[in-house]
A and B are shown apart, each in its own frame.
Chain A
Amino acid sequence: EAGVAQSPRYKIIEKRQSVAFWCNPISGHATLYWYQQILGQGPKLLIQFQNNGVVDDSQLPKDRFSAERLKGVDSTLKIQPAKLEDSAVYLCASSFRQSMNTEAFFGQGTRLTVV
């Protein structure tokens, strides 16, 4: 089966600019996650969708980050305006079942560098 697709793979922007990342989960996966992984750290959940609804965005810096999952399939994550500390890899993941504990499949990630 096809994996989780993310684009772009790399992005370099100046601080205060805006940026958007795109994710296409595995077909049929209801749950979609966006994680931020700073170098040397574990993935930190930013936002979790169940179909097209948000179930957890408690760690999303809502003053600058936004995400949507229209039609319950693809998702975009936006940062506006970016700060230096936003430099990280942004990982998208998806899983099949809504409430059962199942494996999360990760995309390759988008490496963001803010200069």
Chain B
Amino acid sequence: GENVEQHPSTLSVQEGDSAVIKCTYSDSASNYFPWYKQELGKRPQLIIDIRSNVGEKKDQRIAVTLNKTAKHFSLHITETQPEDSAVYFCAATMSGGYQKVTFGTGTKLQVIP
């Protein structure tokens, strides 16, 4: 089955700096890669996603890049703010008869004011 590794497990940055979280996946059949943000005690919520036919996607201060050959994808947050502090999960999804989603282990991001 699919295996998703996520690094780092914790990340501290100064407010205004950039943060990068990296994920690798094992199954080349995966073709959809969502990123979820989970604030303390709350539900995971989608913040950005990318499909395998696209190499990069940007939405304001967040961007995601995908390298299908190397089977890795990354989340980039620029100009970080304290409200960006949360746990971020990447996921790799493959479709066939049904959608199969495998999550990474999460990255706890702390933005220091």
User: Could you list which residues of chain A lie within 8 angstroms of chain B, going by C-beta atoms?
Assistant: 31, 33, 40-45, 48, 50, 55-56, 58, 91, 95, 97-104, 106-109
Q: Is there an interface contact between A31 and B6, defined as CB atoms closer than 8 Å? A: no
Please indicate the chain A residues that have their CB under 8 angstroms from the CB of B96 in the complex: 99
Q: Is there an interface contact between A43 and B34, defined as CB atoms closer than 8 Å? A: no
Q: How far is the CB of A51 from chain B (nearest CB, A)?
A: 11
Q: Is there an interface contact between A42 and B6, defined as CB atoms closer than 8 Å? A: yes
User: Could you list which residues of chain B lie within 8 angstroms of chain A, going by C-beta atoms?
Assistant: 1, 6, 31-32, 34, 36, 42-46, 49, 51, 89, 93-106
Given contact pairs A42-B103, A42-B104, A42-B106, A55 touches B45 in the complex (Cβ within 8 A): no
Q: Is there an interface contact between B49 and A103, defined as CB atoms closer than 8 Å? A: yes
Q: Is there an interface contact between A106 and B44, defined as CB atoms closer than 8 Å? A: yes
How long is the Cα–Cα vector from A101 to B92 in the complex, in angstroms?
Answer: 10
Q: Which of A45, A95, A107 contacts B43 (CB 8 A)?
A: A107
